[in-house]
C-alpha cells in the first residue's frame, strides 16, 4: 500500500484515505449511519464490489440491500450460498436448477438422488446458516474463457460451458466460496456473513428461496401464485421441447441456421394460444367485457388486436375500448407523493361514469362514448355512439383491468380477465435466471426511441416510477385473472440487441442512468444477434421494433 492520500467525498463529507484502502474498510466506518447493510459501492459513477480498493480521488456512494443493485447482489450471493450448502451436503449427486421469480422468492428444483421434502429443506437451511455464521469471504478471480469452459464441463455445468463458447471476451470472472466456484451475472456481497436472512419453502415440484424485501432483515412472506407458476412452467416446458432452455442453447440454434424455423414455430405457438383464448371466450356467450391488463411493454396493444381477430373468426364482433378516455378531468387527477399527477392510480379513472356506461351497454342501450383530450385535459363527446348486439363484445385494455373495483356493479359472468406479461422462458444458465423486468425494459427502450423519439437515458430514468405503479396497480391483482398470457418470444433478445445496443452506448458515463445501461449491455452481450427481416408483421415484437400491421 502506498502513502498517497486519496480525497473521497462521501455523503457530502470529504474523507482522506491512503491509496489502496478497500471500499469495505470505508463502508465499515459508515455502516452505523445506514439501517440496511452496505453491500456494494458506487465510485465515480461506477458500481464496484467492496473488496476493490480506492486508487484515486473521487465521489463514493454506498449501496445497501434496500435499493435495487444491492438487493440483486444479495439475492445472487444467496443462490451461491445455497449451491454451496447443497454441494457440502450431497456432493454432485444433487443438482440445483434456479428457475423462476415468484413474488420476492426464487422457485428452484433439484435433480438427482434426493427429492424435495421438508426434511431435506431443513438440512439445506441449517447448512446455509452454518456457512453464513462462518462469514466466509466470497473471492473473485479471472480465468481464461477456455479454462472456464473446461472447468464447468468437468463440474457437469454444461449450461455454463455452452454459454462461454459464444463469449467474445477472452476472460471470465469467477466467484469462489471456500473452494466452490461458479459464475454469476452481476456483482456479489463480500462474504457469507451478510447472507443471514432467507427462508426455504416447499412448493409444487420444488421449493422457493425467499429473500428479504421491504424489511431487509427478514425474509418476505410467500404468497402462492398458482396461475403465474402454471404459466411459467408451461412456457419453460415449451422452451425445453424446443431444446432452448438457456441462452447458450439459443445461440447454438442460431449458429446452426435454425432461427427462421424457430421464429415461425414461436409465432405459430403464440397464435395457437391466442386462438384457444378466443375459443374459450366464444364458448361462453355471457362474456361481454374482455379486460386485458399487464405491466409496461407486455405487448398489450398487439395482443388485443390479435385476440380481436381470433374473436371475429369465432363469430364475435369485438369493439376496442380505451380506458384512457374515461380519465377524470386533469384538475381532478390525484397527485402522487411528489406532487405530480398520478395517471396510473385507479382514482384517475372516472369509475362512476365507466361503470354506468358499461352497464347501459350491457342492457343494450345506445351510448355516446367519451373522448379524452390530452391537450386540454378535458373529457369531450364527439357524437360517437355504441350499442351492443348479441355477438358484440368489448375489448378493454388498461392497467386496472384486473381490479375488482372496475365494473364492480356488473355480473361476474359477463367479464373475462386476461393478465399478460413478457415472462422470459429461458435462463442465462442453470443458476442465473433472466429478470423479466430487464426484458420489458429493453422492449420499452427500443419502442420509445423508435416510435416516440424518447432517448434510452430518459426511458431508464422513468423506469423506477413505472415499476412502482406496476407493484401498486397490477401485480397485486394478477391472480384475479381468468387467464394468463405470456407474450415473451424465445428469440426476442437476440433481435432487440441490434436496436438496443447503440441506444445504450449513447448514454454518457457521467449519466445517473449509465449503471443500468452498462448492466443491460452486459446482458445483451450473451446473445448472438438476429436480424428482424423474418419476423411477421403481426408479431408482438413488431410493437417495439416497428413494422407492425396494427396501429400500435
DSSP 112-132: ES----HHHHHHHHHHHHHHH
Q: Confidence band (pLDDT; 50, 70, 90) for 535?
A: very high
Name the nearest CA neighbour of 193 among 134, 130, 152.
Answer: 134
**pTM reported for the whole predicted model:** 0.93
Give the span between the Cα atoms of 268 and 532, in whole angstroms: 17
pLDDT for residue 435 is more than 60? yes
Secondary structure (3-state) at 202: strand
Q: Confidence band (pLDDT; 50, 70, 90) for 281?
A: very high
Say if residue 533 is exposed, middle or buried (CB neighbours under 10 Å; 0-12, 13-18, 19+): exposed
Helix (H) or strand (E) holding 495: helix 492-505
Mean pLDDT of the chain: 95
Q: Are 207 and 178 in contact (CB under 8 A)?
A: no
Q: For the stretch 44-56, what's the b/e string if a residue is b when 16 or more beta carbons lie within 10 angstroms of its beta carbon?
A: eeebbbbbbbbee
Name the nearest CA neighbour of 194 among 113, 133, 275, 283.
Answer: 133
- Pairing between β-strand 317-322 and β-strand 392-397 as defined by DSSP bridges: parallel
Determine phi and psi for 69, rounding to 5 degrees: -60, -40
Give the span between the Cα atoms of 254 and 215, in whole angstroms: 43
- How does DSSP classify residue 321? E
Give the span between the Cα atoms of 108 and 207, in whole angstroms: 6
Name the nearest CA neighbour of 266 among 85, 106, 10, 494.
Answer: 494
The three grid cell numbers given for residue 452, joined into one nine-digit string:
416516440
Give the span between the Cα atoms of 234 and 245, in whole angstroms: 12
Q: What is the pLDDT of residue 344?
A: 85
Handedness of CA 327, 330, 332, 335 (dihedral sign): positive
Q: What is the pLDDT of residue 276?
A: 97
Q: What is the pLDDT of residue 3?
A: 82
The phi-psi region of residue 547 (left if phi > 0; otherwise alpha if psi is between -120 and 50; otherwise beta) is left
Give the span between the Cα atoms of 232 and 151, in whole angstroms: 31
Q: What is the pLDDT of residue 224?
A: 86
pLDDT for residue 338 is more than 90? no
pLDDT for residue 1 is more than 60? no
Give the span between the Cα atoms of 16 and 8, in whole angstroms: 6
Give the span between the Cα atoms of 501 and 156, in whole angstroms: 33
Say if residue 364 is exposed, middle or buried (CB neighbours under 10 Å; 0-12, 13-18, 19+): exposed
Name the nearest CA neighbour of 431 among 150, 222, 209, 280.
Answer: 209
Q: Are 325 and 371 in contact (CB under 8 A)?
A: yes
List the beta strands (DSSP E) in 316-414: 317-322, 367-373, 378-386, 392-397
The three grid cell numbers given for residue 246, joined into one nine-digit string:
438457456
Task: For 166-183, write each residue's pLDDT tens digit.
Answer: 988 899 999 999 999 999
What average pLDDT does the segment 319-324 reach?
A: 90
Give the whole-number percent of the chain exceeding pLDDT 90: 91
Q: Confidence band (pLDDT; 50, 70, 90) for 339?
A: confident
Task: For 340-358, write each residue's pLDDT tens digit.
Answer: 888 888 999 999 999 999 9
Q: Could you tell me how far CA 536 lies from the centroid of its own chain?
A: 25
- How does DSSP classify residue 501? H
pLDDT for residue 2 is more than 90? no
Name the nearest CA neighbour of 198 among 104, 114, 120.
Answer: 104
What average pLDDT does the segment 58-67 reach?
A: 97
Task: For 285-309, write each residue's pLDDT tens digit.
Answer: 899 999 999 999 999 999 999 999 9
Give the span between the Cα atoms of 386 and 167, in whole angstroms: 57
Task: For 97-128, write each residue's pLDDT tens digit.
Answer: 999 999 999 999 999 999 999 999 999 999 99
Secondary structure (3-state) at 70: helix
Amino acid at each position: 500500500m502506498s502513502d498517497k492520500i486519496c480525497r473521497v467525498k462521501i455523503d457530502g463529507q470529504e474523507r482522506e484515505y491512503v491509496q489502496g484502502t478497500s471500499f469495505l474498510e470505508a463502508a465499515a466506518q459508515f455502516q452505523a449511519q445506514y439501517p440496511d447493510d452496505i453491500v456494494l459501492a458506487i465510485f465515480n459513477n461506477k458500481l464496484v464490489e467492496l473488496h476493490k480498493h480506492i486508487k484515486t480521488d473521487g465521489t463514493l456512494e454506498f449501496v445497501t440491500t434496500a435499493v435495487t443493485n444491492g438487493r440483486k447482489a444479495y439475492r445472487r450471493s444467496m443462490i451461491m450460498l445455497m449451491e454451496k450448502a447443497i454441494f457440502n451436503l450431497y456432493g454432485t449427486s444433487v443438482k440445483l436448477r434456479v428457475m423462476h421469480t415468484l413474488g420476492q422468492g426464487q422457485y428452484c428444483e433439484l435433480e438427482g438422488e434426493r427429492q424435495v421434502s421438508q426434511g431435506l429443506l431443513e438440512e439445506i437451511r441449517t447448512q446455509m446458516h452454518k456457512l453464513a455464521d462462518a462469514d466466509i469471504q466470497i473471492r473473485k478471480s479471472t480465468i481464461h474463457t477456455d479454462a472456464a469452459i473446461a472447468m464447468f464441463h468437468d463440474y457437469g455445468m454444461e449450461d455454463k460451458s455452452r454459454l462461454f463458447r459464444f463469449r467474445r471476451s477472452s476472460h471470465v470472472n469467477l466467484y469462489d466460496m471456500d473452494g466452490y466456484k461458479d459464475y454469476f451475472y452481476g456483482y456479489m456481497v463480500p462474504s457469507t456473513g451478510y447472507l443471514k436472512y432467507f427462508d426455504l419453502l416447499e412448493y409444487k415440484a420444488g421449493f422457493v428461496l425467499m429473500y428479504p424485501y421491504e424489511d431487509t432483515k427478514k425474509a418476505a412472506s410467500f404468497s402462492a401464485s398458482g396461475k403465474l407458476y402454471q404459466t411459467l412452467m408451461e412456457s419453460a416446458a415449451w422452451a425445453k421441447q424446443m431444446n432452448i432452455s438457456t441462452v447458450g442453447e439459443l445461440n447454438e440454434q442460431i449458429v446452426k441456421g435454425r432461427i427462421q424455423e424457430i421464429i415461425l414455430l414461436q409465432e405459430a405457438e403464440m397464435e395457437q394460444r391466442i386462438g384457444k383464448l378466443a375459443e374459450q371466450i366464444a364458448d361462453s356467450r355471457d362474456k361481454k367485457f374482455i379486460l386485458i391488463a399487464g405491466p409496461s411493454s407486455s405487448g398489450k396493444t398487439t395482443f388485443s388486436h390479435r385476440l380481436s381477430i381470433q374473436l371475429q373468426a369465432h363469430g364475435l364482433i369485438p369493439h376496442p375500448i380505451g380506458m384512457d378516455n374515461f380519465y377524470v378531468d386533469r384538475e381532478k387527477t390525484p397527485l402522487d407523493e411528489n406532487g405530480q399527477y398520478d395517471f396510473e392510480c385507479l382514482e384517475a379513472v372516472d369509475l362512476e361514469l365507466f361503470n354506468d356506461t358499461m352497464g347501459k351497454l350491457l342492457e343494450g342501450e345506445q351510448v355516446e362514448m367519451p373522448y379524452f383530450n390530452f391537450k386540454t385535459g378535458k373529457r369531450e363527446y364527439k357524437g360517437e355512439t355504441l350499442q351492443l348486439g348479441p355477438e358484440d363484445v368489448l375489448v378493454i385494455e388498461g392497467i386496472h383491468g384486473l381490479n375488482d373495483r372496475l365494473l364492480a356493479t356488473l355480473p361476474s359472468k359477463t367479464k373475462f380477465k386476461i393478465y399478460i406479461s413478457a415472462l422470459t422462458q429461458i435462463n442465462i444458465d442453470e443458476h442465473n435466471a433472466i429478470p423479466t423486468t430487464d426484458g420489458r425494459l429493453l422492449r420499452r427502450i427500443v419502442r420509445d426511441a423508435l416510435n416516440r423519439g424518447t432517448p434510452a437515458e430518459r426511458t431508464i430514468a422513468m423506469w423506477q416510477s413505472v415499476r412502482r405503479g406496476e407493484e401498486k396497480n397490477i401485480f397485486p391483482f394478477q391472480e384475479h385473472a381468468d387467464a394468463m398470457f405470456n407474450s415473451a418470444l424465445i428469440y426476442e433478445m437476440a433481435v432487440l440487441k441490434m436496436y438496443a445496443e447503440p441506444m445504450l452506448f449513447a448514454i454518457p458515463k457521467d449519466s445517473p442512468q449509465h449503471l443500468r445501461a452498462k448492466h443491460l449491455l452486459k446482458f445483451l452481450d450473451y446473445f448472438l444477434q438476429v436480424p428482424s427481416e423474418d419476423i411477421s408483421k403481426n408479431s408482438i415484437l413488431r410493437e417495439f421494433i416497428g413494422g407492425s400491421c396494427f396501429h400500435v
